[in-house]
Amino acid sequence: MKRIEVRLSLEVVAPLLDVVKEVSDALQGKLAAPLDIGEVDADMREFWRDELVAAQNGDIAKLLALFDKEFFSNGVIVFDADNAEPVMRACSAVRLRMREENLKGIEDETLETGNVEIDQLTEQVRRYFMCYLFLATLQELIIQHLDTLGDEEDGEGI
């Protein structure tokens, strides 16, 4: 199975992981995106919501699992066919939550382009913004290599 290995700077990424963990903890019983399933009875709505929350929590667990003891010893995370899509969804969930709760004052276009004066942000908002960009970069990296992750041959790291 093909793998993509990514070396990250521990000094840069470690503080961002604190933000990811904080936001993921806030998502434990909540969906990152609102649930609108139309006219469904309360039991069905609750069942569907619970299933979606469980799936979201599983995806976030796979994201956090990238940053294990091995990561903290060598600075490398690995994407493969088993974790790429769940990690993509987890990044989206965490980014949505940050956008709605922690980055409300920043327009969507600015968030997506990253074109912001970092010095103009408070320290707290800067932490969330940098984490938002970090997760976006992970998503872009996976998207660039997603087609090749399903290949059966072994791949080289990048």
Summarize pLDDT for 24-76 with one digit per residue, the tens.
Answer: 999 998 999 887 777 778 888 888 889 999 999 999 999 999 999 999 999 99
Q: How many CA atoms lie within 13 A of 32 on its CB side?
A: 21
- Give the integer Cα–Cα distance in Å for 80 and 2: 6
- Asked if residue 24 lies in contact with residue 49, where contact means CB atoms within 8 angstroms, the answer is no
Amino acid found at 150: G
pLDDT in tens, 67-114: 999 999 999 999 998 999 999 999 999 999 999 999 998 988 888 888
Domain annotation covers residue 13: yes
The verdict on residue 155 lying in a domain is no
pTM: 0.87
Indicate whether 154 belongs to any domain.
no
Structural domain for 73, as ranges: 3-149
CB 48 within 8 A of CB 40: yes
Report yes or no: 68 and 61 within 8 Å, Cβ to Cβ: no
Flag whether 129 is in a domain: yes
Integer CA distances (angstroms), 153 to 1, 38, 87, 90, in order:
6, 44, 22, 26
Question: Does a structural domain hold residue 157?
Answer: no
